[in-house]
Each structure stands twice: as structure tokens, then as C-alpha cells.
Amino acid sequence: MPVTMVPALDEAQILSDEDYLVLRAKQAFMVDPHAAKAWMLTAKTLYPNNFAVQFEAYNIVKSAKNVREAAKCLETLLQQFQEDAELWNEVEALTRALRSDCPDPEPSFLRAVFAHLSTDAQQQLLQVTADRSKDTMEHCRLLMILLSRFPHAVVKHGPRLVDTLLSAEKHSHFQVANNCYRKLLVCELVPLMGASPVPVELPPRQLYRLMHKMIEYYLSCLTSQDPNEPDPWEKLFLGFRSLATMLNWDIASVFGQPWGREIYWQQILEKHEHLHPSLDPESHEVRQHSYCTGIFFLRCLHEYISSIHSGDHQLLLLESFVMPPSEREAAEPPSKRRKHDETVPLVTVDLVTATSTGNPPSNSSAGVPNSNPSTSSGRDRINSTTSVVTNLTATLRCWTMVNSKEPVQRGVTKLLQLLNVDKWLSLFHQDVQLYRGEVNELVNSLLQMDSPDNQSSNAVPMNSTIVKNLRLASAFFYLRQLPAAVDRALQIVGMLSSLPSGGTLSPNLLKQTHAQRHLHLLSLSRTPVLQYCVHLILSTLQQHFVSQPPGGGATTTELDMCVGNMLVLIQLELGDAEQPMPGALELMSKLVSHIRTRPSFSYPIFTNYIINTDILEEIMHLAIRQENPVVFEIAPPSSTQLTSQRRISTRGVDKGAKEDFKSAMRRQIARSFEPLEPLLIKFLTSEQDYVRRLLWPQAKTYVPRM
């Protein structure tokens, strides 16, 4: 029967049969997806070994967004056509999608396709892609995806991946521990190995290396405050537990618990007490204990270091001042006081929070380690996150434990050296020395920092010089080398401008305590540091003043100058009359009583520096009272004064002179609103001689030991 062809699909006539079928499928796709699939199904059965046909089938179901079908096609392709480049483009797009969370439709679809592959195909796909990858990072990442999806493969691939990552990091010459290989190793591989259903076998040497790398990584996250690692300690402890489990450490379980310093401490302490002191440092037991104690110590130390940096201003532990117990308290029977160990220093800090001002006396036992475990642990749990003092004492007691057994001490020291935490440790060591009263050692180490080597580096910031001088001043004060202490204090006052301004007066510098010593965590800002220096000089002058034998020794002039200086200095702590610092009022009245006993009082710079109303009123009262008025000379002779003018003095009976004195005092009272801090800084810088002359009577010839 004669029939002519409709000239449709002209070009199709020259296509191969395979291409013809693919073309029909593609054409049908736009009009009727079902027909397209029917064509593809037919083509697949006709040419099961033709890549183009099979791949087109995949593309068609892919454009139809049919995940299940696409997965089926892809699986067939993976089984049959592993060598085809076009397939690998697709596989690479898929593995790229797996590694990202890109919400675009294409990657999301590919991820869904992957999820619908059989587990065998998933594993094969990742394995083969990883093997093909020339980039190490790529290779490792793909293996990591494989391992995270197939925990059972960790046993096989984990150890090899550890090697790969370690050597990749080594050959990349990174300067920092926080690098991409380390991150992959520590953050992903270690937890995967820890969670492996079948224990992963690694040689102990390798495990220790991993341990170091891991701790180093998280410590560097801590110091750099990496925003991608919000909770490094949590992760570090989990990783530590994984590795400890792989090392068969029985203590591993301790590190699986949520963090609580006291809970950990009790368990580690118990292990410690059962540890035989003569064990070989390389033994399993000692190593285990050294690492656990070391890492626990580091966390305590970090909590302490962070807490002294957590406020607006850094805190610095310094020797502070003890108020002798009142007579009534001193008369208490000793048995009542014995519950406090007097050799343990009282440590105070000014709380920024409004809950309390410093450590109330009831808390003064915070420095006593485990005086009563049941109550102290309960209290510590409450305070652990808030109190700097408990952080300090907890770290101290841990440090004491570390050093109590020689093999452990060696193990921990070695670990700490490897981890390069000198910066934290040196700060802490100084605190330990001060706390334990090993102050000579502290002074020596501080003075060594003064060596020309260090100074030549020229990069010593002003702040660290102030810190050093504060430490030295407080150390000399402790050693009763008062002139040296005052000298450092005066140097600090000269450098105050380099400190951040602000801060408030501390009510805790002077404490009444049964303990022999008082340490204070001073806030490093202008006001408290000035207050500390002033208090230290005041305290020194007071001792100088008290130590003078009655009726002998110091000349009247010297004595007046000493009292005058103290009056100037006390003004800071008297401050606002409503809230004088503890002890300030008492000291002022002592000084006034002293003047009262004298016929005259001469302090030529009085009008320059004394503006406190209370002091001025007392002086006024002493000068104009009916009986035995004290004769005051309180202004220096001035060249600008006319000869007719008199020195401001109450000497003589000149009525005009008395009026002059009164008006001079009124002028001083008028100045009482002047800020005190600049005034005192000016005093301690301009009138240094007034202070020095007293402490070094033969200043020209006498050089104090330093």
C-alpha cells in the first residue's frame, strides 16, 4: 500500500537507535512525563550497557524531581559505569552537596538522592570518590562523611585517616593549632572513633599524640575565643573520654559526667590517694593519673584565669592590709578562734555584683581547703561559677595535689610544657608564691624580669610594668622592706595614666581577720590602684610614726611632716564623709588626737593638699579653742606676699592673724568639692620628697637594699 512518510523527526532518521530513543524520551518529557519515562524504560531494557541511555534516564527522573527513581538510576550507573567522566561530575556535585547545608533545590535534591541509595551504594560512592580525590582535604572530608554515616567503617578507616590528617597537617606547616586538618581530626574523627561500635585499635603512642593535639587545639580555641567552638571544654572532655577509653583507662568514665568541679575533684582525689608514690612515671597508672589531673588542673586554672579577667578590669592578687583585732575580740578565748587556721591567708575580692561587698567574715574560711568537705563542697557548688576566690583556692589545692607525688608532678609538668601554657602558668605561679608566702622567690623572679634582655625587647607595655611594680610593692611590704615598697608605690602613681580610668574605692583593702595575712584581688583600674598605693604608703608612714620612740628619735619637724602627709593621704579613704573606708575615721581621729597633745603643728603644704571638711573642722577647733590652742603653721612663705601681709599662722596674739587663719580655712573648705584623686596624684608626684625624706632620713647617703 503506497504510503508517504510524514516528514516528522527528519533528523531523527539519521540518529543511531540509542540516540533515537533518548531523543524521543527528551521530546516526550516536555509534553507527557509518563510517556518520557515509558521511553526511558524501554531504552534501558534495550540498551542496558549503554551509558548515554542510562544517564539520560537518570537525568529525566532527576528533572522530574523523583528522588526514589533517581536513586535507583544512579545506583545502576554506579554499578556499571564507574569510569565515565560525566557520571563523576554528577557524583562530585553530590558529594559537594553532602558537605554543605546549601538549601538550593539542586543540592537538596542530591542529598535526598544519596539518602535513598542503598547503604552499600552510599558507602561505595563515598569510598570511591575519596579514593579518586587528589586533594587531601577533600579526601579526608569524604572519608569523614563515610565514617559518620557508617560507624562500622570507623574501625577500618579511622587509624589510616588519623595518619593522613597528622601528616597533612605536618606538611602544611601551619603556625597555629587551630587549622583545618587539626579541626577535622579533633572535632570529627576523635568523637567518631570514640563512638565506634567496635573498638578502634591505635598504638598508645599515637593515642598520646592525639591527646596532645586535641588539648592543644581546644586550648587555642579558648585563647583565640574561636566563635565556631562555643564550648571547648565540653568538647575537650568528651574527646578526652574517647581517647581515654581507647587507652583502657578506668578513669575515663569520670570525664563522661557533666562538668562539676567538686564532683571531679572528689573522684580524682580518691584516685590520687590510692596511687602508690613509688610507681614508675612511665607506668600506665601514673600516665593515666597525670593526664587526668593535668587536664583537670588546666580547667580549674582556666576558670580562675577567666574569672580574674571576666570583670571590667583585670584582677591582681596582692598582699593587703590587716586591721589588728579589736581588744574585745583579742580577749576571746583562743579555743573559740582555733577553728580558723591562722596560717591560711584571707583572700578578698570586690564583687561587682550587688550581692555583697567583698567576702563577709563568715566566708573567710574560703581559703581553707576542705576544712569541712560536706559543707564546703555544697558552698563551692553555689559559688563555683561566680567566685574568683573559690576558683583560686580550688586551683591552688589541685596544684598542691599535683606536687604532692613526684611521678605525677613530673607527668603533669611534662604535659604542661608540651601544651605551651606558660602565659597562664607564670601568672598563676606568682599567685601561688604570694599565697604561700614564698615572697623572696617571687621578688627574685620579678626582678629577673627587669633584666636588660627583657627590657631591650622594648615591647613591655606600661600595664605589665605596673603589674610588676604592684607585685613588688606588695612583696616588699610583706617582707617589711618598707622603703622599697613605698618606692614602687610612688613609681606606680607616676604611671597611673596608663591604666584604664574608673573603678571605685575598695572597702576590702583593710580587713579585720584572725588570719595572719590578708590577700586582695585588686581591680586594675585607676582608682583602686591609687587607693592601694595610698593605703600602702599610709600604712608605712603609720608604722614609721608608731615606731618612733616617745620623746626621742624623730625631730618635731619630721613628726609633723609625717602626720601632715598622713592627713593628706587619709583624705582619699575618708572620701565622701558618708561612706569612709574601714579604718579611715579611726586613723584620722588618732592623728587629730596626736596634734591635740602638741603645742604647735607645722605643715607648710597644708593649704595645697588638705581640703577634707572633717579634718579642717577638727584643725579649726584645735586652733581656736579656749584652752591650749594648737599653734598652726600651714602655709609656705610666699615671695608674692607683701611684707605687710602675714604668714597664715595662729602664732602670736595678733587678732588679724587669727582672722587670716579663719579665712584661709574657709577657703580650704570651699575647695572641698575638688576631686581628690588628681590632688593626691599631684601630691605623690610633686611632693615625693616629703614622703621619701621621712623613710630615708639620710637619703643622700643611704641606698636601700633592693
Task: Work out whether 399 is an interface residue with another protein (CB under 8 A).
Answer: no
Nearest distance, CB of residue 9 and another protein, angstroms: 9
Stretch that binds another protein, among 6-14, 122-130, 152-160, 248-256 (CB under 8 A): 6-14
Task: Work out whether 3 is an interface residue with another protein (CB under 8 A).
Answer: yes
Nearest distance, CB of residue 118 and another protein, angstroms: 10
- What sign does the CA torsion over 402, 404, 407, 413 have? positive
- What sign does the CA torsion over 67, 69, 73, 79 have? positive
What does the radius of gyration of the chain's CA atoms come to, in whole angstroms? 40
Nearest distance, CB of residue 5 and another protein, angstroms: 6
- DSSP-assigned letter for residue 631: E
Tell me whether residue 2 or residue 452 sits nearer to another protein (CB atom): 2
Residue 391 makes CB contacts below 8 A (sequence gap 6+) with 300, 303, 304, 307, 384
Nearest distance, CB of residue 105 and another protein, angstroms: 25
Tell me whether residue 25 or residue 619 sits nearer to another protein (CB atom): 25
Tell me whether residue 15 or residue 368 sits nearer to another protein (CB atom): 15
Q: How many residues contact another protein, by CB under 8 A?
A: 25
CA distance 582 to 592: 17
Tell me whether residue 31 or residue 331 sits nearer to another protein (CB atom): 31
Is beta strand 315-319 parallel, antiparallel or unpaired with respect to 346-349? Answer: unpaired
Stretch that binds another protein, among 3-11, 518-526, 601-609, 644-652 (CB under 8 A): 3-11
Residue 360 makes CB contacts below 8 A (sequence gap 6+) with none
CA distance 545 to 587: 12
Tell me whether residue 46 or residue 198 sits nearer to another protein (CB atom): 46
Nearest distance, CB of residue 107 and another protein, angstroms: 25
Nearest distance, CB of residue 143 and another protein, angstroms: 29
Q: How far, rounded to the nearest angstrom, does the alpha carbon of residue 310 sit from its chain's CA centroid? A: 7
Tell me whether residue 114 or residue 237 sits nearer to another protein (CB atom): 114
Please select the residue that binds another protein; options are 4, 49, 278, 643, rule is CB under 8 A. 4
Q: How far, rounded to the nearest angstrom, does the alpha carbon of residue 357 sit from its chain's CA centroid? A: 23
Burial (CB < 10 A; 0-12, 13-18, 19+), residue 297, is buried
Burial (CB < 10 A; 0-12, 13-18, 19+), residue 652, is exposed
Please select the residue that binds another protein; options are 62, 72, 157, 468, rule is CB under 8 A. 72
Q: Cβ–Cβ contacts within 10 Å for residue 101, how many?
A: 9
Q: Cβ–Cβ contacts within 10 Å for residue 443, how many?
A: 20
CA distance 677 to 75: 80
Tell me whether residue 8 or residue 459 sits nearer to another protein (CB atom): 8
Residue 185 makes CB contacts below 8 A (sequence gap 6+) with 162, 165, 166, 169, 210, 213, 214
Residue 602 makes CB contacts below 8 A (sequence gap 6+) with 557, 560, 632, 633, 634
Tell me whether residue 34 or residue 274 sits nearer to another protein (CB atom): 34
Of 142, 291, 301, residue with least CA distance to 208? 291
The answer to whether residues 606 and 627 touch, using CB atoms and an 8 Å cutoff, is no
Tell me whether residue 23 or residue 269 sits nearer to another protein (CB atom): 23
CA distance 647 to 641: 9
Tell me whether residue 42 or residue 206 sits nearer to another protein (CB atom): 42
Tell me whether residue 70 or residue 243 sits nearer to another protein (CB atom): 70
Nearest distance, CB of residue 2 and another protein, angstroms: 5
Tell me whether residue 52 or residue 554 sits nearer to another protein (CB atom): 52
Task: Work out whether 6 is an interface residue with another protein (CB under 8 A).
Answer: yes
x/- site string to another protein, residues 348 to 367, per CB under 8 A? Answer: --------------------
Stretch that binds another protein, among 1-9, 549-557, 578-586, 630-638 (CB under 8 A): 1-9
Q: Apex CA 526: angle with CA 522 and CA 532, to 5°?
A: 45
Of 387, 473, 484, residue with least CA distance to 434? 473
CA distance 544 to 599: 22
Question: Which residues in the 307-346 window bind another protein by CB under 8 A?
Answer: none
Nearest distance, CB of residue 65 and another protein, angstroms: 16
The answer to whether residues 565 and 690 touch, using CB atoms and an 8 Å cutoff, is yes
Tell me whether residue 9 or residue 577 sits nearer to another protein (CB atom): 9
Tell me whether residue 1 or residue 85 sits nearer to another protein (CB atom): 1
Nearest distance, CB of residue 153 and another protein, angstroms: 23
Tell me whether residue 113 or residue 695 sits nearer to another protein (CB atom): 113
The answer to whether residues 109 and 62 touch, using CB atoms and an 8 Å cutoff, is yes
Nearest distance, CB of residue 74 and another protein, angstroms: 14
Tell me whether residue 35 or residue 275 sits nearer to another protein (CB atom): 35
Nearest distance, CB of residue 73 and another protein, angstroms: 12
Nearest distance, CB of residue 34 and another protein, angstroms: 4
Nearest distance, CB of residue 48 and another protein, angstroms: 8
Question: Which residues in the 14-43 window bind another protein by CB under 8 A?
Answer: 17, 20-21, 24, 30-32, 34-35, 37-39, 41-42
Nearest distance, CB of residue 8 and another protein, angstroms: 8
H helix intervals, 462-525: 462-478, 482-495
x/- site string to another protein, residues 646 to 685, per CB under 8 A? Answer: ----------------------------------------
Nearest distance, CB of residue 418 and another protein, angstroms: 54
Please select the residue that binds another protein; options are 10, 11, 45, 461, rule is CB under 8 A. 45
Nearest distance, CB of residue 246 and another protein, angstroms: 37
Question: Which residues in the 554-583 window bind another protein by CB under 8 A?
Answer: none
CA distance 412 to 231: 24
The label of the residue with cell 572597702 reads 507
Stretch that binds another protein, among 5-13, 185-193, 362-370, 500-508 (CB under 8 A): 5-13
The label of the residue with cell 603512642 reads 205
CA distance 456 to 444: 19
The label of the residue with cell 591635740 reads 596
The answer to whether residues 395 and 297 touch, using CB atoms and an 8 Å cutoff, is yes
Question: For residue 129, what is its C-alpha cell?
Answer: 570518590
Task: Work out whether 57 is an interface residue with another protein (CB under 8 A).
Answer: no
Of 154, 140, 230, 165, residue with least CA distance to 191? 154
Nearest distance, CB of residue 191 and another protein, angstroms: 34
Task: Work out whether 517 is an interface residue with another protein (CB under 8 A).
Answer: no
Tell me whether residue 57 or residue 510 sits nearer to another protein (CB atom): 57
Q: Apex CA 436: angle with CA 435 and CA 437, to 5°?
A: 95
Of 301, 304, 317, residue with least CA distance to 349? 317
Question: What residue ranges bind another protein (CB under 8 A)?
Answer: 1-6, 8, 12, 17, 20-21, 24, 30-32, 34-35, 37-39, 41-42, 45-46, 72
